[in-house]
Structure formats: structure tokens, C-alpha cells
Amino acid sequence: MGSHIQIHPDILNIPYGDRHRINDATQGRDGLINLASGNPDLSMPPFITERLKASLDSGYASYTNYYGLPELRRKLSQFLKKNCGISADPDTELLITHGVQEGLYIVMKSILHPGDEILIPSPHYAEYYLNAVACGSKPVLVALDEEKGFIPDFDLIERAVTRKTRAVVFCNPNNPLGVVWPRDVLEDISDLAKANNLIVLVDEIYRDFTYTDQPPSISTLPGMAERTFTFGGFSKSYMMMGLRAGYVIGPTEPMFPIKNLHYCVTLCPSSLGQIAALAALDCPKEQLEPLYREFGERLEVLYKGVKAISGVSCVEPKGGFYMFPNVKCFGLSSMDLALLLIEEVGIVTLPGTEFGPYGEGYLRLSTCVNCEQIETGVGRLIEFAKAFD
């Protein structure tokens, strides 16, 4: 007998993606090299671990202030001013969330009205699309072209803007593309947003992993603070993925009801995550810089290896943990190729289509394993390509 419980269509419409096919294919196989994951193999810096242990020893596990420990918000606000040039009042413009993921949901749910359109330069981080659907709005994908270095084509974006367009969402550095949009691109986005009265959602979770000139945070460009929500997190910068600590910065007036929704969703962020986040802001540079260097090296090793595969092209990655090589030369769909790579040479990758239909013909490769494994992985890819010829 069917259930009498009827789920809201917006929730039923959230697509699942096909990632489970990749997971299923890996079952029971030994010696796989994982170039798919966004969950790095490294531990938190010892400074943070020690502070967390001390906090655990004290037995502290209370609910905290709903919007994040006041001390954390204060410190974070100073940190953001110093490191990103962002001015955020810790009481009214800054909210600690259960990771960027929660932040994205509560902001999109709050600003998107049914039928609104949100522009997503694509291939894109899947969550943006899923949230747009969950909120009853219409995600509008705007293609990013490899030949243009995955830099947006503003004619294309302008043509995608309609009366119903409310917002644009993107991440910089980019997951899955590995590119970092520089100042002039952000200025163009800012002009477009101001001309069309759009809200900008920018996800800067990979900001510390920028291996080129650091672009400005778009909210610091003239006239942008009042129309921008900036998302940042502790997950990647401090290897705190499972502790679930992130934040969103936005203008006071809309932040007020958004904070209320945050309360409905989660009451308060995890106390442990916040203790770790507080420690992270005090973490000595000597424990962080090697981490950021390590990911830069991994990206270089992976890129060098991928470039050596005949027929494969790839936009040089400049930030984050990922790159997005064009693998159309194999003549297979991205999913079929990803499955074949698991079966034939034991490399796990993600089909580009996990990041939207414009990802067809591409794979997403990641740097969440060490250089040695990356080298083994690309060695296997090169052998695979030779055998395929």
C-alpha cells in the first residue's frame, strides 16, 4: 500500500544525481586511487586538536548562542576585515552556520520566491542547483566554456537575465573547474548585478587555496555589500570537514529573518565545531601554510600528469582542490568513462555531468590524496589512454 504522506513537490523534484553509480562500482575493489573525493586525507592542525581536547575535557557541550558564539563572531569579523577587506558587524551581518551548506540553503530559501530564477554559471557545485529546486525557484544554467578558460561570457549571462531573475550564485575559487575569477570578471558581475538589481551569492570556501593573485571578495567592490551574501567556511581551510562550521555575511535587514530560519533549521551551530573554529582563528601560521602549500603542489602534480595524456585538454587550475579535464577524445560519455576507469585501472573520478549537463565530456579530478597517490593515479590514466588509442 502506498504511503498517505505526500511530500511537497519541490522536495520531490530535488535531483539525486548519479554519484551512487560511482560508489557502487568501487565496492569490493582493492587498490583504488581516489581522485573523486572532496574530503581531504589530512588531519586538523595539532593546535586546533589540542584546544578541542581541552574543551572536551571540560565537558563543554552546551547549546550556544543561536547565531554563533559571540566571541567567535567578533574574532571572525576582525579576521575578515584583515584578510578579505570585508566589514561585517558581528551582531547583525555575520551568522555562524552548520557549514556553508546550511548557509546556502537558508539564504536561498529566504531570498528566492516561487518562480524566481537564479543564474548558475555551469558546470557548477551541485548544491546550488539542488537548493534552487528545493526552494521552488528555477535554476538557469549559463554555460562556461573551456575555450574561454571557464571565464563567464557576459553576453550569454545578459541574455539569460529576465524579469524573473533574482540572483546569481557561484564559487571562487571554483569547484569543480579549478579556476579563479580575477578582479575584472568580478567587476563585470558586479556591474551586471547592479544594472539588473540582482543579489549575488558568492561561495569562498576555497579562498585560502588560491594559487594566483588573490581576487577581491565581490562584496568589497563599490555598491556590492548591500546586495551580496558571502559564504565562508572552516571545513577546507582547517581540515574540519566533519565539524560543520561555516558562516554567511550579508546585509543587516535580510539577515534578520535569515537568522530566524537558521534557528528553525539547526537551533545553534555545533558547539564543538565553534570551539574548533575559534582555535582555527588563532592557529599559528606555521601549521597552516604547509597545508596550503601541500594542496598547491598536489594541484601542480595532477595538472602536469593530465597534460601528458594525449588528446586530453585541461584549463590550468589556479585554486581549490579540483580540475576539469576534457576527455571527449575517449568517445565515451563521462559516466561510462568514469565507470571504465574504475574497472580497468582502479581510478575513481567523477563524471563532469555530476556538475550539470555542460559537464558532459569532462571528468572532475581532485587532490584529496597525497602526491604519491596522485602520481600513481595519473600514471594509470596515461597507461589507460595509451591502451585506448
| Residues in 275-314 at the binding interface with ligand PLP, rule: CB under 6 A | none
What distance in Å separates the CA atoms of residue 151 and residue 184, rounded to the nearest whole number? 11
CB of 236 vs ligand PLP, minimal distance in Å: 7
| Residues in 29-48 at the binding interface with ligand PLP, rule: CB under 6 A | 38
Residue number with CB closer to ligand PLP (132 or 161): 132
Binding mask 245-264 for ligand PLP (x = CB under 6 A): -x------------------
Contact 35, 370 (CB under 8 A): no
Dmax (CA) for the chain in angstroms is: 62
Q: Which of 175, 228, 230, 353 binds ligand PLP (CB under 6 A)?
A: 175
Contact 284, 148 (CB under 8 A): no
Range in contact with ligand PLP (rule: CB under 6 A) among 94-102, 142-150, 190-198, 218-226: 94-102
Phi, psi (degrees; rounded to nearest 5) at 113: -95, 155
Contact 176, 123 (CB under 8 A): yes
Residue number with CB closer to ligand PLP (38 or 68): 38
What distance in Å separates the CA atoms of residue 294 and residue 44, rounded to the nearest whole number? 14
Contact 235, 246 (CB under 8 A): yes
Residue number with CB closer to ligand PLP (273 or 305): 273
What distance in Å separates the CA atoms of residue 77 and residue 245, rounded to the nearest whole number? 15
Our CA angle for 49, 371, 239, nearest 5°, is: 20
> Is residue 100 within the footprint of ligand PLP (CB under 6 A)?
yes
Contact 198, 192 (CB under 8 A): yes
The CA-atom distances, in angstroms, between 22 and each of 7, 258, 343, 357 are 28, 36, 11, 17
Q: Which of 171, 189, 291, 337 binds ligand PLP (CB under 6 A)?
A: 171
Range in contact with ligand PLP (rule: CB under 6 A) among 95-103, 108-116, 213-221, 345-353: 95-103
Dihedral over Cα of 52, 53, 54, 55: its sign: positive
Range in contact with ligand PLP (rule: CB under 6 A) among 14-22, 99-107, 139-147, 290-298: 99-107
> Is residue 239 within the footprint of ligand PLP (CB under 6 A)?
no
CB of 36 vs ligand PLP, minimal distance in Å: 12
What distance in Å separates the CA atoms of residue 127 and residue 133, rounded to the nearest whole number? 10
> Is residue 202 within the footprint of ligand PLP (CB under 6 A)?
no
As given in the structure block, the three cell numbers for residue 74 are 567578533
CB of 159 vs ligand PLP, minimal distance in Å: 26
Number of residues engaging ligand PLP in binding (CB under 6 A) = 13
Q: Which of 99, 215, 273, 356 binds ligand PLP (CB under 6 A)?
A: 99
What distance in Å separates the CA atoms of residue 159 and residue 366, rounded to the nearest whole number? 33
Range in contact with ligand PLP (rule: CB under 6 A) among 97-105, 148-156, 216-224, 334-342: 97-105
Residue pointed to by grid coordinates 533549521: 265
Residue number with CB closer to ligand PLP (100 or 279): 100
> Is residue 203 within the footprint of ligand PLP (CB under 6 A)?
yes
Strands 246-249 and 94-97: antiparallel
CB of 237 vs ligand PLP, minimal distance in Å: 10
Q: Which of 25, 241, 332, 340 binds ligand PLP (CB under 6 A)?
A: 241
Q: Find the Cα–Cα–Cα–Cα dihedral 215, 48, 231, 75, rounded to 10°.
A: -90
What distance in Å separates the CA atoms of residue 372 and residue 380, rounded to the nearest whole number? 12
| Residues in 101-160 at the binding interface with ligand PLP, rule: CB under 6 A | 101, 125
CB of 258 vs ligand PLP, minimal distance in Å: 16
Residues of the shown chain interacting with ligand PLP in the complex, contacts defined by CB under 6 A: 38, 99-101, 125, 171, 175, 203, 205, 233, 235, 241, 246
